Structure 1
Amino acid sequence: MIPKLTLDAFALSPATSAALEYLPGDRAFLRTTLAIQTGGIQAATAHYGRHPSPDILVVESGSDAEGLMAELEALAEMVEPGLKVVVIGTVNDIAIYRRLIGQGVADYLLAPVDGPTLAASVKALFRDPAAAPRGRLIATIGARGGAGASTVAHNVAWALADGAGQDVVLVDLDLAFGTAALAFNLEPRQSVAEALSQPDRLDGVLLDRFMVERGDHLKVLSTAGNLRDFPVVTVDAVEKLVDLARQSAPMVVLDLPHLWTDWTVALLAQADEVLVVARPDLASLRDCRNLLDQLSARRGGETGLRLVLNQRDAARKVQLTAADFQDTLKIKPTACLAYEPQAVGEAANAGQMIAESCGRNHRLSQAFTDLAATIAGRPLPARAAKGLSADRLNELFRRLIPAKATA
């Protein structure tokens, strides 16, 4: 994702204007303040004689090579040194491209340019080849309170870590009522609230100290479970925390509270995948529609939005079906989780996940494994059940067979 910045653009042609209008629909530009004007380089030169420079400037020119160079020289006198400038022009000449790059232009694009090409050019300005890769972000939120979104988040994170054997960070962002520590039977070192209260000090080393390991591949950043002394959450603080988490693991799962605030909306818009968890009832259907409509608008479409129906058959006679949700929302549920109060209750009381307390063959365990595999984009490898391994069983058989032969 592109950092929080301002991008000004001065277009000449309708094609360039259309390409610029594409940018707000790209999730990488969610934090970008975009201002589009007409008039090309000459209008930009006049504008910045009276206004401060943005972080990025996109300008279009219809001039020949010498005219373009003269326009850029005039512009350079009006803008701040070091400004990143992307030029769109009509001169199709590798020599002019090299000349522009040599004089400090960030990129030169041949007109007409389309939205994806322009977006890729701007994104490349912030790509650091030496930077650590950022893990995929999975955000989980309930369509209504009590939908079981936390149970889904916890068990999916566990399935990804234990089943896929990849490092996963689970972040419980329900500061007041989060249950991740209880669900995994963990004692938090420091809470999410403490991490968010000192964002200026927060770095990868400090964040790692805050997290608690659960198994070989899962780390949990949880809440303290009290209503005292937690900070006002800002978008900048929570984005920094999540970005650091993404630098530490290839998969980050967020357990979001049932809140519609600036910071929850920002995370939902940025996430690679969003799991909307709902019970199969009418109120949940209404709230799912509102939630999915809002998220589609902010994310530039429905890509990455997933619906998870939970507690199916809790009220079999009056519940809505998966087909009812699909017909109304135009999105097929990715998973339909059965109502299993005893299994969920036993796991919660034991501080375990369903696969630990009920076994991997339990239908809820299998459902969470399938959901995790869908998110991972590949089948999860079969894991041996706890107890005797295959190698250990073979060793026992080898010992028993000779003993029987000599008896």
Structure 2
Amino acid sequence: MGHHQPRSIIIVSERVSFSQEISGVFSMEDNNTITTANESFKMMNGRAGSLVFDQDVVIFEADPDDADEIQAVKELLKKRTNGTIFLALTGNEVSITKARELKKIGIDEVLPLSIDSDGIRAAVDEKLSAMRAPEQNLFNGSSALGQVIPVTQSRGGIGSTTIAVNLASTLVGRDKTMFKKATRKSVVLLDLDLQFGNSNVFLDLEDKGGFLNIIDSAEKVDERFVGSTLQRHALGFDVLCAPAQVVPLHSMRPDLVQDIIDILKMKYDYIIIDLPRAVVDWVEPVLKSASKLVIVTDTSVPCVRQARRLMDLYREDSVALPVEVVVNRERRPMLKSEHVREAEKVLETKLIHWLPDNPKVARSAVDLGRPIVDMKPKSDLGKALTLLASALSYSEQTVNRKK
């Protein structure tokens, strides 16, 4: 399974078995050049720079308690002027705090020694593509100023994450209209539900600490930093996973959210955002940037009332914000019942987006970590989700054509 671009990898470890194991992971791919150095960085002394900075990737063992070795790595990283990526593998018992200290000296990624070969290959791919991304596809004009579509819910468990994940999955490959052939769109999914976010579970991705890096960072985020926190899904869109550990909601700041959105709008056609259940001040920049807000509800009285409250609350700052109400787990009625008409009255909008209840398909999609539109596109729910994505993006095209 060769990659498009050749890359050179150096493996640094005193343990020959470590070098052999890591070499084995990458030698399966035909366009990797692999070098091994069976010594530590402190043993290399002044030779380290000339050995490693000609390489794309440096993979080495790191013991955070070996002060001399860490100091040698730190001194080496101070001399880094190019895009060489440093990947450290540590014992599984290393604490998050110690792993973060390693990242602070400039190590690009810290992974446990127990990681499997797919995991380490994915980490290298991700870091290299983030490093090469600025030259390749940032600011390419055609995808500048993407549409920001936040998704929120009128009650917990109503399915907003399902909708966000499937929107991202569908929008990346659609946009075939009478006027043009299907084109690939660049899409990113941000899981801003810091405390309960689980879009990574729906997509079978592991949180790699990208969000925590953003929150912990004292520096202003730039396009390369944000790019390095994103993970690429097999369907072709990028994801910023919510942190695996629960973090306080106030650990995000409005200016940070604004910076992230500004950066992503320059790079992606669509930015899908799974919002937190709680109302927090840093949601304001999301709404100010939004081209439309999606509220997921059902037609029960408490849910409809809560959806109305959310609409009013979120429109306080963004008066003209278009709101799309999606009724989940209810089939579109042939004839509107009294209570559906009542719901439309309360929400002051026609209910046009309906997603049928199909617990079997929804459940197996979550269990397998695959979006419904990818796993069961022909199911009633798969078709309805595709239609929803089509409607949300089509209204945008129509607006753009009228301009």
- Structure 1 residue 293 displacement after superposition: 1.9
Name the CA distance, whole Å, in 1 between partners of 2:338 and 2:199: 30
Residue among 169, 173, 195 paired with 2:188: 169
How far does the alpha carbon of each residue in 1:321-368 deviate from its partner, in whole angstroms, 9 at most, with x for none?
5433212211122411111111110000000011222x2211111111
* 1:33-112 correspondence to structure 2 within 5 Å: none
* 1:120-135 correspondence to structure 2 within 5 Å: 133-135=144-146
Name the CA distance, whole Å, in 2 between partners of 1:313 and 1:249: 33
Alignment partner, residue 171 of structure 2: 160
| Partner AA of 2:319 in structure 1 | G
Residue among 267, 270, 287 paired with 1:268: 287
- Structure 1 residue 192 displacement after superposition: 2.0
Secondary structure of 2:316's counterpart equals helix
Name the CA distance, whole Å, in 2 between partners of 1:193 and 1:132: 28
Superposition RMSD in Å:
2.9
Alignment partner, residue 307 of structure 1: 325
Name the CA distance, whole Å, in 1 between partners of 2:200 and 2:191: 9
Residue among 245, 266, 282 paired with 2:301: 282
Name the CA distance, whole Å, in 2 between partners of 1:364 and 1:321: 23
Name the CA distance, whole Å, in 2 between partners of 1:240 and 1:379: 24
Mean Cα displacement is larger for which, 371-380 or 220-229? Answer: 371-380
CA gap of 1:142–1:230, structure 2 versus 1, over 3 A, is closer
Q: Pick the structure with greater CA Rg.
A: 1
| Partner AA of 1:369 in structure 2 | T
Alignment partner, residue 70 of structure 1: none
- Percent identity for Structure 1 against Structure 2: 22
Name the CA distance, whole Å, in 1 between partners of 2:199 and 2:300: 26
How far does the alpha carbon of each residue in 1:10-61 deviate from its partner, in whole angstroms, 9 at most, with x for none?
xxxxxxxxxxxxxxxxxxxxxxxxxxxxxxxxxxxxxxxxxxxxxxxxxxxx
Gapped runs of 5+ residues in structure 1? 1-127, 381-407
Name the CA distance, whole Å, in 2 between partners of 1:287 and 1:224: 27
Q: Does 1:218 align with 2:229?
A: no
Residue among 374, 384, 390 paired with 1:373: 390
The alignment's TM-score, normalised by the length of structure 2, stands at 0.56
Alignment partner, residue 310 of structure 2: 291
Residue among 132, 152, 155 paired with 1:141: 152
Name the CA distance, whole Å, in 2 between partners of 1:250 and 1:345: 30
Residue among 358, 366, 378 paired with 1:340: 358
| Partner AA of 2:232 in structure 1 | E
How far does the alpha carbon of each residue in 1:77-127 deviate from its partner, in whole angstroms, 9 at most, with x for none?
xxxxxxxxxxxxxxxxxxxxxxxxxxxxxxxxxxxxxxxxxxxxxxxxxxx
Residue among 151, 174, 178 paired with 2:197: 178
Name the CA distance, whole Å, in 1 between partners of 2:348 and 2:356: 22
CA gap of 1:201–1:301, structure 2 versus 1, over 3 A, is closer
Alignment partner, residue 262 of structure 2: 243
Residue among 235, 247, 251 paired with 1:232: 251
CA gap of 1:214–1:350, structure 2 versus 1, over 3 A, is same
Name the CA distance, whole Å, in 2 between partners of 1:280 and 1:131: 40
Alignment partner, residue 202 of structure 1: 221
Secondary structure of 2:169's counterpart equals helix
- Structure 1 residue 229 displacement after superposition: 7.9
Secondary structure of 1:299's counterpart equals coil
Gapped runs of 5+ residues in structure 2? 1-138, 176-183, 398-403
| Partner AA of 1:246 in structure 2 | K
Name the CA distance, whole Å, in 2 between partners of 1:284 and 1:375: 22
Secondary structure of 2:362's counterpart equals helix
Name the CA distance, whole Å, in 1 between partners of 2:160 and 2:205: 19
Name the CA distance, whole Å, in 2 between partners of 1:336 and 1:323: 14
Secondary structure of 2:317's counterpart equals helix
Name the CA distance, whole Å, in 2 between partners of 1:321 and 1:211: 43
CA gap of 1:172–1:228, structure 2 versus 1, over 3 A, is closer
Matched positions, count? 247
Name the CA distance, whole Å, in 2 between partners of 1:369 and 1:223: 25
Secondary structure of 2:326's counterpart equals strand
- Structure 1 residue 211 displacement after superposition: 0.8
| Partner AA of 1:310 in structure 2 | N
Secondary structure of 1:298's counterpart equals coil
Residue among 343, 346, 349 paired with 1:331: 349
Q: Does 1:355 align with 2:366?
A: no
CA gap of 1:232–1:200, structure 2 versus 1, over 3 A, is same
